[in-house]
Structure 1
């Protein structure tokens, strides 16, 4: 994950080498858990802010519903992809960290929304102590940290993984996740940051919207509640672009809108207790929902394998090293010995939770096979770097990160992505700078 400074030192002039060494010493000195003071502005850098926005669970096909005119306007004024292929598992935290690191979950280590680590214990997205623990996140270098290491400034607005220090650094500006912050309030905060003088304004900002995901889970992706959330988010995007335009800044910002994955409908009666898959006596279930992690208890390994491996009525199970190769998943130590994947439209949750859940309510879920159309995510971009009116073929979400690094003019950290599928979206389609 290192940036290769040592190999480049011998080709740098002595004065520049001294300056670079001074910068490195400064970076080491700043590697603490406290929020970082923004570095001084470098007037020699291109000063085009980059704004990355995620709409959690916005399925690629939603753009055709006619409910999001502001998002459609951004697409018409710029570039869209047919869709983005999410990474496995198609969960929120793994894919949001993939988008900003270019690493698949199997490599950055945020392998599920719920996971276990022998040293760190249990991770749940509802646990603020786990969310803020740096060691869950240190397997990747998010774009705002890479920017700050290069002397730029980064900001995160509720982005999953954005409130933890990573490799000793917080984002220069950061707001922790709070579902009570409205869509408009989130946009107003970002507008405030972008309205600062060039000496303090963030170079890269990551903004997150979650309400579509919540309403889709509770009522289903085709529900009036989900559609209303979609429209609220779209209105917030309209407020954002209108405000930037009024300030004469809209065409000076590279704006990218993505989602982490799509959403599928879970009909009434298609939820089962995870204890019916494997009993607590036999194994610890490290994650539930759609991608089920199973760690057999000592002495039960053979019994659990016999019970689980292979095809079942509504799910299929594999040893971690034998999962489908196209998922690129199964080597990280946090992945348990057996993984079971639910069929589209089926959930497996704890029995106690299932008992308390509404019995006659259609719901929504993600976490299914990334190849399913319902799991496809969006990519839309406009700004000085992007062509207008172009549609590019689908690509994997690991490819977003090298694009972000290119737009910022920084050397990307080690990643799994490839900028080639995104070059047709750019006005300047030359090879990426090394």
Structure 2
């Protein structure tokens, strides 16, 4: 059918012009409205599949599959699950969390103990939140800094090292460690980081849970209180994943722990190892650091070096090569490793604890090759293969996997990128 166009007569032109102007005004209104919508603070384009890295402090590798971890068991069954993960030496919280974040051994990233000394920076202890913000203690670039340099937004909850700015860079969203924050509030806030309509969605979200470690120290790794803490964290992870799924976010999930936990009811006074007038005690617990005082070097060496009934001591150059430890200047001249189940504390501390009725039942910090020290590794999500089982892996191999998932450049490190490459759905 042909349609003929009717040209306007001269007397129709004012009417035509009026209609034209009305249409122009209407189109202008639409364009301005669209511009206003575009300028509103909506979330920019974001990765459809962010990386969720979860650490459960003190969770033993053999804690899964015992009825306390239905969420983790499902992730392990449907994803990638290692028989265990060998922690780095010393088997302590801060050194191993920074190894997971950098791919470097503590001997190379500078966090050589939970308690250490530096001639320029002074003393570092994990309870000092202010010291943890001093960048000089953390001598390697963590994953979140590398991601931010690449303009990938990151969000970190309480991960050791995340409150220290490197080259002025911090995670875009972050929360310092605060054990008083209730678990449901933690999940609410972390989920909000991902699902809020404003701001960039994190490409990397790292979250740290401390309650299993605390219960393990207080009651032992197999106590009902520790199992209850494990259930609490498992439930929290399930709630977080549910919240993300409701928002249409299906993350690549990597769940790790920093170390395991052993029954440790036995105490020895560190003064029984070395007299205070003969040596400065740099660190206590399970990995004892001692610096002989001037004029007492030979006496301290003669008393300590070698294998004793409850511990073994080495000078720095003689620390076994398998521990990858002993070159960093923050490591004291003599290092003593306690036998599994033993702790060395100052006598005054032991007496105060006895008077208060405080008796630790569990500890870590022992030989990293002990089964009790094995940590957890599992991975689940679109990036990973399904139903894959691995033997015991080394925790320095986790970082290259995380970097690859995020599409970041891999720096030279202590891990082997080939170890975990086969777990990817598209190697």
Aligned length: 384
Matches within 5 A, 1:4-19: none
Matches within 5 A, 1:270-349: 270-349=266-345
Structure with the greater alpha carbon radius of gyration: 2
1:238 and 2:238 equivalent? Answer: yes
Q: Could you list the structure 1 runs, at least 4 aligned residues long, displaced by more than 3 angstroms after superposition.
A: 40-43, 196-199, 358-362
Equivalent position SS for 1:65: coil
1:50 positional shift: 0.7
Counterpart in 1 of 2:111?
A: 110
Structure 2: give runs of 5+ residues left out of the alignment: 1-41
1:167 positional shift: 3.3
Counterpart in 2 of 1:394?
A: 392
The answer to which of 388-397 and 91-100 deviates more is 388-397
Counterpart in 2 of 1:119?
A: 120
The answer to whether the 8 Å contact 2:290/2:333 transfers is yes
Counterpart in 1 of 2:191?
A: 191
1:352 and 2:348 equivalent? Answer: yes
Counterpart in 2 of 1:141?
A: 141
Residues 178 and 362 of structure 1: CA distance in aligned 2, closer, same or farther (over 3 Å)? closer
Relative to the length of structure 2, the TM-score reads 0.87
Residues 299 and 203 of structure 1: CA distance in aligned 2, closer, same or farther (over 3 Å)? same
Counterpart in 1 of 2:403?
A: 405
The answer to whether the 8 Å contact 1:265/1:362 transfers is no
The answer to whether the 8 Å contact 1:216/1:364 transfers is yes
Equivalent position SS for 1:80: strand
The answer to whether the 8 Å contact 1:87/1:397 transfers is yes
Equivalent position SS for 1:226: helix
Residues 295 and 167 of structure 1: CA distance in aligned 2, closer, same or farther (over 3 Å)? farther
Residues 103 and 222 of structure 1: CA distance in aligned 2, closer, same or farther (over 3 Å)? same
1:151 positional shift: 1.4
Counterpart in 2 of 1:418?
A: 416
Counterpart in 2 of 1:4?
A: none
Relative to the length of structure 1, the TM-score reads 0.85
Distance 1:271 1:94 in 2: 23
Counterpart in 2 of 1:29?
A: none
The answer to which of 195-204 and 146-155 deviates more is 195-204
Residues 198 and 204 of structure 1: CA distance in aligned 2, closer, same or farther (over 3 Å)? farther
1:41 positional shift: 9.2
Q: Residue deviations 1:230-288, cap 9 Å, x none?
A: 111011011112222223323xx111100000000013xx1111111111101111110
1:147 positional shift: 0.3
Distance 2:422 2:137 in 1: 35
Counterpart in 1 of 2:24?
A: none
The answer to whether the 8 Å contact 2:314/2:336 transfers is yes
Structure 1: give runs of 5+ residues left out of the alignment: 1-39, 430-434
1:79 and 2:75 equivalent? Answer: no
CA RMSD of aligned residues (A): 1.7
1:385 and 2:386 equivalent? Answer: no
Distance 1:198 1:407 in 2: 25
Distance 2:179 2:87 in 1: 24
Matches within 5 A, 1:227-266: 227-250=227-250, 253-266=251-264
The answer to which of 139-148 and 45-54 deviates more is 45-54
1:336 positional shift: 0.5
Q: Residue deviations 1:409-433, cap 9 Å, x none?
A: 010233211121112211012xxxx
The answer to whether the 8 Å contact 1:392/1:424 transfers is no
Equivalent position SS for 2:226: helix
Equivalent position SS for 1:245: helix
